[in-house]
Amino acid sequence: MHSRLNPANLVICEYCDAVYSRTPLKRREKAHCLQCGGELYRNAHVDIDVMLALTIASAILFVIANCYPIVELNMSGLSNRATLWDTLLFTLDSNVGVIAVFAAASAFFFPLIQILLFAYVLIPLRVGRKPRAFIGAMHALREMQPWSMVEVFMLGAVVSVIKLTAVAAVAPQIGLWGFATLTLLLTVLSSFDLHELWDQSEALDA
Amino acid sequence: MNSSSRARDLKLISCHACGLVLDNREELSHARCTRCDEHVYTRKPNSLTRSWAYLIAATILYIPANLLPIMLTTKMYNTLSSTIVSGVIDLWQDGAWDLAIIVFTASVVVPILKLGLMSFLLISTQRRSTWRQRERTKLYRIIEHIGHWSMLDVFVVALLITLVHFNKLALVQAGPGIVAFAAVVVLTMLSSMSFDPRLIWDTDEPKPHTPPDNGQTNG
């Protein structure tokens, strides 16, 4: 029979329920499940400085990406340019308004809230304190993750630009580069394992 | 390695939200995580039933999503309607084959793959199949990660209707197909989120942890 192990030293594969005892990993190492190949955990120390730097950079780029037009279109002397919000408001007024609600959530509100929550969680952790609403903020971050789609919007903007070059003069604007960079930053930021932030916050309680 | 050490047999639960491993020797049905206060379960509740429900709804909506136009393009009083598939064909014929492949992958291949592979995972899991469990678990992880890319066409339509509105000269309007298509993507995402991959490995269990798969519970 198994002797009772200390649960704090265990990790359970979320894909197949296999139980392992944790071993320390080197930097950039990942532990994978032997049974199903799923990722168990990464090197135990998330670098809060790096995450915070990425969060601040994302916040700046989020403002740039949203304040400047993404594309400008010229046709027979007329021109139209669109920011993300122009797109959302125009779509809301169209016959498919429900699409605008979805697009606003996945390309604007969820990424914005993610950036703000990361700042809310990371700044106190950086100075060795645990924010008051840590639990709620961490749950919100986890639940929003799959519905935040800046990268898909970004690819959609590129596809639109190329589609339009066939019929009109299209000029990509600062907003497009803003979104491209924001996509990169958010991809790196969300690749950090939130489980490790939980572990670090617990160390503060002790 | 010896595959005998499974969390459920050891009466351990890992919190899906924060990863903490909890001792569940009392086998509480409404346990909460001691660290993050989230409900914890040995398996996601009603996983297969919920996953099927979303998947069936997605499959039904997939039909109007492909038959109804997603975009109406007016050029010099001439209106053309395009569906998801005809949009890809137009791109290909315009010579933008690279773009055609990207849109074809995101809008056609990924949704069909998700509908097909989710059905396969659900059926094989219900039958407690021991066939290639490792590969099937990997398949699930892939489905989980590619699903949201299908929203590509939804963003493209939103951008095009905003940019191309030059009165009678050129006008792009959205068609109802795009709403059905967005619903398909959301529903397949919900379906894969509801599926519990640990059930793939629950092949030797005498009594099921989920209700009967026809969706009927004894009342």
Pick B214 or B145 by higher pLDDT: B145
Q: Which helix (DSSP H) or strand (DSSP E) does residue A158 occupy?
A: helix A150-165
**Cβ neighbours of A70 in B, within 8 Å:** 159
In Å, how far is A69's CA from the nearest CA of chain B? 11
Contact A176, A72 (CB under 8 A): no
In terms of residue numbers, what domain contains A37?
7-42
Residue A159 half-sphere exposure toward CB, CA atoms < 13 A: 31
Average of per-residue pLDDT across A2-24: 81
Please report, for residues A35, A116, A120, B100, the alpha-carbon distance to residue A204 in angstroms, rounded to integers and kept in the order given: 34, 22, 16, 52
State whether A38 and A106 are in the same domain.
no
Please provide the average confidence, as pLDDT, over all residues in chain B: 86
pLDDT digits (tens, 9 = 90+) for A113-129: 999 999 999 999 999 89
Separate counts of helices (H) and strands (E) for chain B: 7, 6
Average of per-residue pLDDT across B49-62: 97
**Cβ neighbours of B134 in A, within 8 Å:** 35-37
pLDDT of residue B29 exceeding 90:
no
pLDDT digits (tens, 9 = 90+) for A131-181: 999 999 999 999 999 999 999 999 999 999 988 887 789 999 999 999 999
Q: Which two tokens stand for residue A85?
A: 């919000």
B6 and A11 within 8 Å at the Cβ level: the answer is no
Amino acid at residue number A173: Q
Average of per-residue pLDDT across B133-139: 94
Q: Which CATH architecture has domain B46-201?
A: Up-down Bundle (1.20)
Nearest residue, CB atoms, B152 vs list A70, A102, A152: A152
pLDDT digits (tens, 9 = 90+) for B105-127: 999 999 999 999 999 999 999 99
* Interface A:B, Cβ pairs < 8 A: 203
Q: Which residue of chain A is at minimal alpha-carbon distance from B160?
A: A160
What is the number of structural domains in chain A? 2
Pick B181 or A206 by higher pLDDT: B181
Q: Where are the domains of chain B?
A: 1-42, 46-201
Residue A2 counted as domain residue: no
Nearest residue, CB atoms, B156 vs list A34, A159, A166: A159
Q: Which helix (DSSP H) or strand (DSSP E) does residue A71 occupy?
A: strand A71-75
Least confident of A81-90, B170-179, B202-211: B202-211
A166 and B162 within 8 Å at the Cβ level: the answer is no
Residue A122 counted as domain residue: yes
Which residues partner with A80 through β-bridges?
A73
Q: How far apart are CA B85 and CA B119, in angstroms?
A: 23
State whether A199 and A98 are in the same domain.
yes
B102 and A159 within 8 Å at the Cβ level: the answer is yes
Average of per-residue pLDDT across B62-90: 90
pLDDT of residue B204 exceeding 80:
no
Residue A186 counted as domain residue: yes
pLDDT of residue A203 exceeding 50:
yes
Nearest residue, CB atoms, B134 vs list A37, A138, A168: A37
In Å, how far is B189's CA from the nearest CA of chain A? 9
pLDDT of residue A94 exceeding 70:
yes
Average of per-residue pLDDT across B184-200: 95
**Cβ neighbours of B102 in A, within 8 Å:** 155, 159
Residue A152 counted as domain residue: yes
Please report, for residues A163, B7, B114, the alpha-carbon distance to residue B85 in angstroms, rounded to integers and kept in the order given: 15, 46, 17
Please report, for residues A14, A141, B34, B205, the alpha-carbon distance to residue B25 in angstroms, rounded to integers and kept in the order given: 19, 30, 15, 18
In Å, how far is B218's CA from the nearest CA of chain A? 28
B189 and A82 within 8 Å at the Cβ level: the answer is no
State whether A54 and A36 are in the same domain.
no
Contact of A85 with chain B, judged by CB distance below 8 Å, is answered with no
Contact A106, A153 (CB under 8 A): yes
pLDDT of residue B207 exceeding 90:
no
Residue A1 counted as domain residue: no
Q: Tell me what percent of the residues of chain B surpass a pLDDT of 70.
A: 89
B148 and A37 within 8 Å at the Cβ level: the answer is no
pLDDT of residue B70 exceeding 60:
yes
Average of per-residue pLDDT across A104-110: 96
pLDDT digits (tens, 9 = 90+) for B88-109: 998 898 888 888 999 999 999 9
State whether A28 and A109 are in the same domain.
no
Entry pTM: 0.89
B26 falls in which pLDDT band (50, 70, 90)?
confident
Contact B185, B111 (CB under 8 A): yes
State whether A59 and A28 are in the same domain.
no
Separate counts of helices (H) and strands (E) for chain A: 8, 7
For position B134, what pLDDT does the model report?
A: 93
Q: How far apart are CA B126 and CA B47, in angstroms?
A: 11
State whether A14 and A85 are in the same domain.
no
Substitution target from B22, B159, B161, B168 for chain A, most A beta carbons within 10 A: B159
State whether A15 and A105 are in the same domain.
no
